[in-house]
Structure 1
Amino acid sequence: MMFSFTSATQDRYFKTKLLQLECHFTWALRKDDADLTDVLNRLEEQIELDLGKKAGVARSYNLIAFVKYLLGSSQEALTYLQKSVELTKDYRGEDSERHLIVTYGDLAWLHYHTGDYTQCESYLGKLKDIREKFPTKSTSVHYPEVLGEKGWTFLKFSQKHYDKAKECFKKALEQEPDESEWNAGYAIALYRTETENSSPEESATIQQLRRAIETNQDDAVLKVFLALRLSVYKKFKEADDLVEKALEMSPDSPHVIRYVGKYFRNQGSLDRSIALLKRALDRTPNSAFIHHQLALCYKKKKNNLYYTGSHHSKGAEIRRVRDQCIYHLEMVVTLKSSFVTAMSDLALIYGENKEIQKAENLFQNVFKMIKEKNEPLQTLQIVRFHYAEFQQYSNRCEPLAIQYYMECLKLGTDTYDGKRGANNLRKIAERRISRNPKDGEAFGILGFIHKEKGEKCQAIECYEKALTFTDSDEFLSNLCELRLSLQ
C-alpha cells in the first residue's frame, strides 16, 4: 500500500529501503570497471551455450538487465528481469522465493529509477514477505542464494571483483557446503586469483577443483581447469586423462574446446590447439577469448619458427603466421576494447612488423587506459615489460628499454613478468660489461636487480663497482641506503 508523502520525503523513504537490499544496484558495480559491451557479449554467449542450465540463464538475465540499465535502456532491463522471474518460477516451482531475492531487489530499484513508486513498493513488500517467511539468525547473515548470485556477478562483471567473488562463494559454502553451484563458483574464483604454490598438495585451487568436480560430475569445464592447474606442477598424466574425459563428455562445447585448446598450447601441441579453437570459433565467432587464444598460438608458432633453424629461409612462413596473429589480436581489440593486455600484445607485434609509429601510438593508448581505469598492478607490469621489449628489439632504444624493464621489476620480482624483466636487464648489463669491463652504468643495473630482489650484499658490491667507474648520485644514494639497512 502506497503512503501519502511529499515528493522529497517519498524519495528519502524509498532510498532508505532500497539501500538495504542485496542486488546489482547495491553491489558497487561501477560502469568504469568493465567494458559493458563485452560483458553483454559474454553473457549472451553464455546463455546460448547454457540453455540446459536454467539457474545460470536466470542469473545472466539479471546481470544483462543491470548492464542494460547502465547503458540507459531501462525498458530492456525490465524485460530481462521479468524473463528471469518467469524462468526461475518455472524451474524452481515452490522453491523459487529465496532465488528471487536479487531479482525482486533489482525490480524495486528499476521501478524507483523510472518513477513507478507503486511497483517499487510492491517489490519491497514481496521482499519483506520472503524475509519474514525465511528469517535469518542476524542481519549480518545473508541467504546463500544471494551470496551465490553475488559471487557469479562479481566473476562475470570484471576481474577487479574476483577477490570479492571468492569471499561470497566461501560464505555461501559455510551455510551449504554440498551445493554444487557454490563449489563450482568458488573453484573458478580461486583458479582466477590464486598464485602458484610450491606443490599441488598446497594448492587451494586444486583442492577446491577436486571438490567441485565431486559435486558437479557432468561439468567438463571444471575438469579442464583442473588439468590446466595440474600441468603447472608437471602432473601431466592426470592432466591428460582429465582433458580426454572432458572432450569425451562435451566434444562440441565451445566452452570446453577453448580451454582444451589452451591446454594443448601450453603443452606445445600448437596445430592441435589451433584446430580445436577454430572449431569453437565456428560456433562463437564473436568470442574475444577464443580469438585471443588463437593469437597466442600463432605467436608461439612464430617464435618457434624464428628460433629453430634459419629464420631467413622461413621468412614467408613467419610473415604468414605473424599476419594470423595480428588478425586475431585486432579481432580481440575490436570485440573487447578494454582488453589492455591484448592491446599490448598487438602493439608489440606491430613493432615486430616494423610498424613503429603504429605500435608507439597503441602503447601510449594502453598506458592511458591503465591510468584511467585503475587497472591491477599485474596488468601494468605486463604492459611495461612489453613496452621494454618493443624499445629493445623493434625501436632499438636501449635506454628506454632499460627504464621500462626497471619499472616492470619494481612491481614485483617473483611474478612471471618480473622474472623475465630481471633476466633481460641482466643480459643487457652482462653484454655491456663483456664489451667494456669499466661500464659503471651496467654495474648499476646489476645493483638495481639485486636491490629489488632483496639481495643487499650483492647489490652493495655492484653499486661499489659502479661508483668506481661513474659518478652517479642515484647509485650513491642507493648504496648508502643499503649500508644503513644492514647496520
Structure 2
Amino acid sequence: MSSTQGTDLKARLLQQECHFTWALNNNEVDLNYLLNRLEEQFSLDLGKEARVARTRSCMGFVKFLQGSNTEALSNFEKSVELIKAHGKDSDKLLVVAYGDLAWLYYHMGNFAECEMYLNKLREIKEKYPSVPYAEVLGEKGWTFLRFSLKYYERAKECFKKALDLVPENAEWNSGLAIALYRTEIVGIGCAPETSDAVNQLRRAIATNPDDDVLKVLLALRLAVFKKYSEAESLVEQALERSPEHPHVIRYVGKYLRNAGSVDRSIALLKKALEKVSNKAFIHHQLGLCYKQKIMKLKQAGSHHTKGAEIKRAQEQCIYHLEMAIKLKTRFILAMAELALQYGFNRDISRAEEMFQKAFQAAKEKKDNYQAVHVFYAEFQQYVMRCEPAAIKHYIECLKINPNQFEGKKSAKSLRQIAERRIGNNPNDGEAFGILGIIHKERGEKQQAIECFEKALTYVDNEEYLSDLCELRLSLQ
C-alpha cells in the first residue's frame, strides 16, 4: 500500500463512529476491573441480543487495549453475529461493530479487510443518509457510562440526542436515568419534583416496567429527599420480583445501610458476593456497613461492654476493604477508607503508607483527589489529634470544589472547628480566617471580607491580607 493510500484509509477510519474514535483513555480506567463488569453483564443480558452485542463490542475494544488482537477480533465478530440475529433493520446497529472491525484490521496490517468494512459502512450510509443514527448515539452513551465516571457527562449528551430522535426508546431512557442519577448533586432546597434524576428515573421505569434496578435507584434518590414511604415500597417491589439479581441486591444493600438497617444490608451483600463476578464494589459496601456498625456499637454502650463486638466489626471492616483493593488495585475510595480504618486500629505506619498510595493513584487517574484529602483530614483530626494538619487538608479539599459532597463536608468540619475555637477564645484570629476562607470559596464575598478583617485585628497573616485585598478589588 502506498503512503497516499494509507493516508486516505486513515482519513476514512477517523470519520467512523466506533470505540476507536470516541477518545476513550485507557489510563482512566482499570481494564481488568472493567472486563469483570462486562463479563458480569453477559449473564444478566442472556437472551437480549442487542445488549449482549453492545457488551461484546466494548469487551473487544478493551481486549484491543490490552494488546490481544485475536480476542478483540473474536468479540467484534460475535457482536456482528448477534446484531444480524436481532432481525431486520439491523444495519444501523452494525455501524459501531463494522467501524471497530475496520480499525482493528488496520492495526493488524490487513488493509484489504479494513477496506471491505469501510465499504460496508459506506453502503449503510448511502441506504440511510440521515445522520446521526439514534442507535449509534445510544451505544456511544452506554460505552461512556461503562468506561469511566469521567465520561458521564458525555453519556448524558448522547442519550439525550438519541431520545430526541426516538423519545420512547426504553434502553436510552434507562441509560439517561442512570447517567443523571450518577451525576446529579442534590443541594439544599432541592425537591424530588425538580430533580432531573427522579423525573427521568420515573420515565425510564414507565418504559422499562420490568427493570427492578431502576426502581431501587429511584428509591435511593427518593430517600435523599426523605420520601421514605414510596422509597420503601419500591425496594419491596424490587426484592420481591428480583431477589437474586446482583445489582438489585447491591443497591438494596446500600439503601438499607443508608436507612440504618446495617445487619440486613450485610446479609444481602454477602449473598450478592456469591452471585457476582464484580466483587470489589460489594466488598467496599460491606466495609462501609461494618464501619457504620462500629459507630452504632460505640453509641450503644461503653467500649468495655461492647469491646469484643467492636473489635470483630473492625476486623471485618478492614478485611472487606483490603479485599476490595486486592480485586481492584486502584480503588481510590476503598484505599482512603482503609487507610482511615488502619488509623483507628492504631496501625499508623500502614495508614500513612496507604494514604500516600491513595494520593498517588488519585493524581495519576486525576480522580477522587478531593475525597482523599477529606479522609486524610479526618485521619489527622480524629486519629493523630493534629488539628493544624486537619485544617490544612480540609481547606485543600474545599478549594478543589466547594460544591461537591467532599467540599461541603470539609466546609462543615472547618466551620465546627472555627466556631468551637471562637467559643473558647473570641480573639482567635485564625478561627475567623478559617471562616473567611469558607465564605471566599463559596463565593460569599462580603461575609469573607468581614471575617478576614476580624482575623487581621488579632493575627498578622499575609494570606488573609492577600485574600482580603483580592476580594475588595473584585467588589469595586
- 2:178 pairs with 188, 191, 194, which one? 188
**Inter-partner Cα distance in structure 2 for 1:113 and 1:71:** 14
What residue identity is the alignment partner of 2:79?
S
- Report SS of the residue matched to 1:314: helix
Shift of 1:251: 1.2
Shift of 1:76: 0.6
TM-score where L is the length of structure 1: 0.93
What residue identity is the alignment partner of 1:273?
S
- 1:176 pairs with 158, 166, 182, which one? 166
Note the alpha carbon deviations across 1:205-242, whole angstroms, 9 max, x for none: 11111111111111111111111111111111111111
Output aligned runs, 1:195-210, within 5 Å. Answer: 195-196=185-186, 198-210=190-202
**Inter-partner Cα distance in structure 1 for 2:448 and 2:304:** 41
Match in the other structure for 2:343: 351
- 2:235 pairs with 235, 243, 266, which one? 243
Q: Which runs of 4+ in 1 moved over 6 A?
A: none
Match in the other structure for 1:393: 382
**Inter-partner Cα distance in structure 1 for 2:72 and 2:6:** 22
Q: Is the 8 A contact 2:36 2:277 kept in 1?
A: no
- Report SS of the residue matched to 1:291: helix
Q: Is the 8 A contact 2:343 2:379 kept in 1?
A: yes
Q: Given the superposition, is the C-alpha separation of residues 448 and 135 from structure 1 closer, same or farther in structure 2, using an over 3 Å criterion?
A: closer
Note the alpha carbon deviations across 1:127-171, whole angstroms, 9 max, x for none: 1111122221xxxx3111111110000000111111111111111
Q: Given the superposition, is the C-alpha separation of residues 12 and 456 from structure 1 closer, same or farther in structure 2, using an over 3 Å criterion?
A: closer
- 1:67 pairs with 55, 62, 66, which one? 62
- 1:252 pairs with 238, 244, 251, which one? 244
Note the alpha carbon deviations across 1:337-383, whole angstroms, 9 max, x for none: 232112111111111111112111221222222222222xxx22221
Q: Does 1:402 align with 2:402?
A: no
- Report SS of the residue matched to 2:87: helix
Q: Does 1:362 align with 2:319?
A: no
- Report SS of the residue matched to 1:312: helix
**Inter-partner Cα distance in structure 2 for 1:485 and 1:66:** 50
**Inter-partner Cα distance in structure 1 for 2:461 and 2:316:** 47
Q: Is the 8 A contact 1:467 1:475 kept in 2?
A: yes
**Inter-partner Cα distance in structure 2 for 1:412 and 1:160:** 16
Match in the other structure for 1:233: 225
**Inter-partner Cα distance in structure 2 for 1:343 and 1:291:** 12
**Inter-partner Cα distance in structure 2 for 1:343 and 1:152:** 28
- Identity of counterpart residues, as a percentage? 62
Output aligned runs, 1:67-466, within 5 Å. Answer: 67-90=62-85, 92-136=86-130, 141-196=131-186, 198-284=190-276, 286-375=278-367, 379-466=368-455
Shift of 1:312: 3.5
Q: Which moved more, 1:146-155 or 1:333-342?
A: 333-342
Q: Is the 8 A contact 1:42 1:287 kept in 2?
A: no
Q: Given the superposition, is the C-alpha separation of residues 311 and 26 from structure 1 closer, same or farther in structure 2, using an over 3 Å criterion?
A: same
**Inter-partner Cα distance in structure 2 for 1:199 and 1:13:** 54
**Inter-partner Cα distance in structure 2 for 1:240 and 1:413:** 32
What residue identity is the alignment partner of 1:479?
L
Q: Is the 8 A contact 2:162 2:172 kept in 1?
A: yes
Q: Given the superposition, is the C-alpha separation of residues 219 and 467 from structure 1 closer, same or farther in structure 2, using an over 3 Å criterion?
A: same
Shift of 1:444: 2.1
Shift of 1:188: 0.8
Shift of 1:319: 1.6
**Inter-partner Cα distance in structure 1 for 2:88 and 2:447:** 69
Q: Is the 8 A contact 1:144 1:176 kept in 2?
A: yes
**Inter-partner Cα distance in structure 2 for 1:260 and 1:16:** 48
- Report SS of the residue matched to 1:170: helix
Q: Is the 8 A contact 2:399 2:441 kept in 1?
A: yes
Q: Given the superposition, is the C-alpha separation of residues 310 and 104 from structure 1 closer, same or farther in structure 2, using an over 3 Å criterion?
A: same
Q: Given the superposition, is the C-alpha separation of residues 360 and 61 from structure 1 closer, same or farther in structure 2, using an over 3 Å criterion?
A: same
Question: 5+ residue gaps in structure 2?
Answer: none
**Inter-partner Cα distance in structure 2 for 1:462 and 1:32:** 43
Q: Which moved more, 1:92-101 or 1:453-462?
A: 453-462
Note the alpha carbon deviations across 1:230-265, whole angstroms, 9 max, x for none: 111111111111111111211111111111111111
Shift of 1:451: 2.9
Q: Does 1:42 align with 2:67?
A: no
**Inter-partner Cα distance in structure 2 for 1:436 and 1:223:** 51
What residue identity is the alignment partner of 1:117?
F
Match in the other structure for 1:53: 48
Q: Is the 8 A contact 1:155 1:162 kept in 2?
A: yes
Shift of 1:484: 4.0
* Aligned-residue RMSD, C-alpha: 1.7
Shift of 1:304: 1.6
Q: Given the superposition, is the C-alpha separation of residues 457 and 102 from structure 1 closer, same or farther in structure 2, using an over 3 Å criterion?
A: closer
Note the alpha carbon deviations across 1:439-478, whole angstroms, 9 max, x for none: 3222322332233334444433433333233222222233
Question: 5+ residue gaps in structure 1?
Answer: none
Shift of 1:485: 4.2
